Amino acid sequence: MRKMVRIRTKSTGHELALSLRNAYLTMHRQTDACFAEAGVTADQFVLLCALADEKEALTQQELADRITSDRNTLRAMLLLLEEKKLLRRDPHPTDKRARLVRLTPDGEQVQQVLWTQSETFRKHLASLLSPEDTEDLLALLRRFAWALMPQEDAP
């Protein structure tokens, strides 16, 4: 007769998942706080930065991929930011199904102000570990995420 044993929740995979979750959520909370008084969420800031980084406007689908979101989720975010006049969604010149998303001048300014305002927080993030360890963590995270992504989605 087998002895009843409580299944232990220990495994490298589980610990990795929990550590990644803990690190992200802790950071995310602080990032949200960093932008809260401007009425912008951390996720919205990521979106604004993705647009600011691009010379050319992106379609909604491209933008969704860029910020690790999906088109329905993205749309909800875009409507919120559009209402605040931070971005526009123009018809695509050649593909009539698509829309091109762009920052408005207001949106560019808000992104730049928030970027500057969050300088200290970014410096803080980069200073938590030694420069070498930070680079290692960055490289490992990238390789991890890359390997985890369904390969057709990989950039």
Partner DNA sequence: TATTGTTATACTCTATAACTATA
Partner DNA sequence: TATAGTTATAGAGTATAACAATA
**115: alpha, beta or left, given left = phi > 0 and alpha = psi -120 to 50?**
alpha
Angle at 94 between CA 46 and CA 150, to 5 degrees: 45
Q: Cβ closer to a second copy: 52 or 80?
A: 52
The piece of 7-15, 74-82, 109-117, 121-129 that touches DNA (CB under 7 A) is 74-82
Q: What is the CA radius of gyration of the chain?
A: 20
**Strands across the sheet containing 99-103:** 58-59, 99-103, 87-91
- Residue 98 binding partner per list a second copy, DNA, none, with a CB distance cut-off of 5 to 8 Å that depends on partner kind: DNA
Say whether residue 4 binds a second copy (CB under 8 A).
no
What count of Cα atoms within 13 Å lies in the side-chain half-sphere of residue 85?
3
The piece of 10-18, 54-62, 105-113, 129-137 that touches DNA (CB under 7 A) is 54-62
Work out how close the CB of 132 gets to a second copy at its nearest, in angstroms, rounded to a whole number. Answer: 11
Q: In the chain, where do the E strands start and end?
A: 58-59, 87-91, 99-103
Say whether residue 38 binds a second copy (CB under 8 A).
no
Contacting positions for a second copy (CB under 8 A): 6-9, 11-28, 30-31, 46, 49, 52-53, 68, 111-112, 115-116, 121-126, 128-129, 133-138, 140-145, 147-149
